[in-house]
Amino acid sequence: MRVLKPALRSVTATVLAAMARVVTGVRPIWSGTSPSRGRRIYFANHASHADFVLLSACLPPAERQRTRAIAAADYWGKTRLRRLISVDLLGAVLVERNWVERKSDPLEAMLEVLDSGQSLIFFPEGTRNMTDEPLLRFRSGLYNLAVARPDVELVPCWLENMSRVLPKGEFLPVPLLCRVIFGAPLAPHPEEDRRAFLDRARSALLALDPRQSRAFA
């Protein structure tokens, strides 16, 4: 089974990317960067369980194969079926969000992936945004990753329309056009504290939202 997993994940990623393009017509907008062979942390807004599939579909095949999504263990690891889908088929990295009850350090799991030469898809809000706000307050994870691995690029990615394609509680997607807008990489400034960096990263991501630019037009 261990031998089959990489091949199985490769096939699954290719099939899901094709499905995402068929259902959403998704296209990438590389407005602040371009595809890279280097390690990256793609951080994005989070509105549905299929967000990482949409983002992954916009990466070149080689980059897609070595990019893994961070997923909540309390949801995706709750049943054997969900773990099979998330870990074995999709290659997700499950992390525990409850810092009181968790048995392992989520940062260590993410750093292990980066140190193996792979990239990450990360959702700094920590949970799906079901509010009317465009973005929730960022949690500390992105800052901790940035400080621990300052040589890894942090790329903001705005996922457009996914909250409408797969609303909460729905299983079948609604065909709507989507885009993934990739912004310019950022890194912590010297002497910049945690909150200041997270606020700056949040602003950089929010600036990619086309609705924001239309609001000030």
CATH number of the domain within which 108 lies: 3.40.1130.10
CA distance 117 to 114: 5
Q: Name the DSSP letter for residue 169.
A: T
Tell me what pLDDT residue 3 has: 42
Tell me what pLDDT residue 1 has: 43
How many domains does the chain fold into? 1
By the 8 A CB rule, do 154 and 43 touch? yes
Instruction: For residue 184, give Cα distances in angstroms to 121, 152, 165.
Output: 16, 13, 26
Domain span holding position 150: 4-215
Q: Strand pairing partners for 120?
A: 41, 68
CA distance 171 to 34: 33
Per-10-residue mean pLDDT, the chain, length 217? 65 87 90 94 90 92 93 85 83 78 80 96 91 92 96 96 65 75 95 96 95 57
The amino acid present at 143, given as its one-letter code, is: Y
